[in-house]
A = this chain, B = another copy of it.
Amino acid sequence: MATSDTRTQILDAAERLFAEHGYRGTSVRAITKLAGANLAAVGYHFGSKAELMAAVARRVVEPINAAQCAGLDKLLARTPDPPVSELVEAFAGPLFDEMSAGDEGGARTSRLIVTILSDPAEEVRSWTGPAEDSVRERYFAAFARVLPGLSPEELWFRMRGILAVTAVDRLEVHQQPSPGCVSPVAGEAARRWAITFLTAAMSAPPPRT
């Protein structure tokens, strides 16, 4: 094969451990041990722990970005003014799709995205590449067209809201659910709930100034 197998095994182990314990909470030793590889393999294949994290983030984010982009293309090919619900679904849907992958793999993926988005380290956020930004800008333009009453600032606020709901929903999947708080339902139900919730939110008329 083109790249060594230990390389992908390290990527898998790192993705899992980074998702579960965060970047700083995961040691290179733990990663290589889980991957069944030698400690020095990370340095050899990726250069450093930070570059390994960047590779993990790329591998996770890229298919999501591609799906978001393809969804918007399909929508705009039909009409320049798609309904808000379909824009929301095209934007948020790919984040949920990762979860329906049978076992807990998707949950880990989501957890990893939250880890990246919320990590206080300045370097971590830079791992979400400019591709992500360009996708967001395309959706911004589409939303702005069908929601003409909103100021750009408020529209950006609402788009952050979409990311927030889809991301933090996954948050408690891996953590102790609060007592009395039903653990979040994975899969199709959460997806429907999120689309409903967010479509109503995005469609709200702006507050009177």
Using a CB–CB cutoff of 8 Å, the interface residues on chain A facing chain B are: 19-22, 24-25, 111, 114-115, 117-122, 125-126, 130, 132-133, 136-137, 140, 152-154, 156-158, 160-161, 163-165, 167-169, 171-172, 174-176, 178-182, 184-185, 189-190, 192-201, 203-207
Contacts and interface: CB of A to CB of B under 8 A. Distances in A.
Contacts of A22: 22, 24, 119-121
A118 B114 contact: yes
B178 A168 contact: no
B161 A120 contact: no
Contacts of A160: 168-169, 172, 184
A189 B114 CA distance: 26
B24 A179 contact: no
A117 B174 CA distance: 12
A33 to B, nearest CB: 18
Contact of A120 (B115, B132, B140, B201): B115
| Interface hub of A120, A121, A179, A192 (most chain B Cβ within 10 A) | A120
A196 B200 contact: no
Given A122-B175, A197-B204, A201-B201, A181 B133 contact: yes
A31 B62 CA distance: 38
A157 B175 contact: no
B169 A167 contact: no
A171 B128 CA distance: 15
Given A122-B175, A200-B203, 5 more contacts: A25-B121, A157-B169, A164-B171, A193-B207, A197-B204
A94 B178 CA distance: 20
A20 B121 CA distance: 8
A153 B180 CA distance: 11
Contacts of A152: 182
Contacts of A156: 181-182, 184
Contacts of A201: 197-198, 200-201, 204
